[in-house]
Structure 1
Amino acid sequence: MTLTHIDANAQVNMVDVTDKSPTVRSAYAEGYLDLSPAALAQVMQANNKKGDVLTIAKIAGIQGAKQCANLIPLCHPLALSKVEVNISCLPESSCIHVTSMCKLTGVTGVEMEALTAVQIALLTLFDMTKAVDPAMTMRGIRVLQKIGGKTGTWHHPDAS
């Protein structure tokens, strides 16, 4: 097995993607925040003391995707052409579901950006509601699908 992030001298190395052909690429990710019914009700009723929790988390997720290369070593900085973050409150499960989609025309995939968007949105939701429920749990953070590039389309085997 050849390690892609280690050079011939066993030093950390950012993969050279110079010679790869650009293709349209996209990735979809999701995650959940489990929280108490009281905390979820406060979010849904938009009466959190810190403001509009859902809108701020959505903006944070978009910003997170755009900052991925600054947060994760060896990720390539990407010129994203689209970032979408959607947040749904699920009272029957006492959780919040976050999904993201990142897209570009480029030489490397956008899975890390999609995951970062979800995680930053979840962290923002946690931060803004922790006074009501400090025992919240983030879970199920995963790539659902990636499209484009040399390997084509991939779907998570457990995703609907």
Structure 2
Amino acid sequence: MQPDPLVFGASGLIGRFLVAELLRRGHTVAAAARGGGDGLTAWLTGRDVPLDGLAVVRADITRPDLGLPPGDLTAVRDVYNCAGRYAFGLTAEQARATNVTGAVHVLDWAATRAGLPEHDRGREEAYWILDDRAPVLPELIGLLAAHMGCGRPGVRSRSGCCGSSLAP
């Protein structure tokens, strides 16, 4: 099984919804997580998501090599970084290790992938954050909105149900 998308932070709130949507669309997905992925697979199973295209890989984005063996994941064409560390009492150094330095490590790793389209290589083009150019983003936002009890998504419509100060 050769996964084409790789999702970092796959067991987190956003990552698991993305993994579920990619699997439902028939992709073979590499789900990168710090742990063994048991929580992710249980969550996916509870939502009737097919697991036959899932490959859980251990990764640590705080390491420059991401903790991934060299030469693995050669078929990866899309890299999604949903990893983040948020907790009360977290020091700036702890937060930075994952949320800043870890993101840079993911970008550096993605930039070395031969399978990524040429225009997507490098930091300038490869990192999108909630950008409508991401292949499954509109659907992912819809899933998250439904999970949060919001109506049909859209920046303005979500702002009212989620307590944002954005005016309609």
Taking structure 1 as the reference length, the TM-score comes to 0.28
Higher relative contact order structure (alpha carbons within 8 Å, sequence separation ≥ 6): 1
Q: Bigger radius of gyration, 1 or 2?
A: 1
Taking structure 2 as the reference length, the TM-score comes to 0.28
Larger fraction in helix: 2
Larger fraction in strand: 1
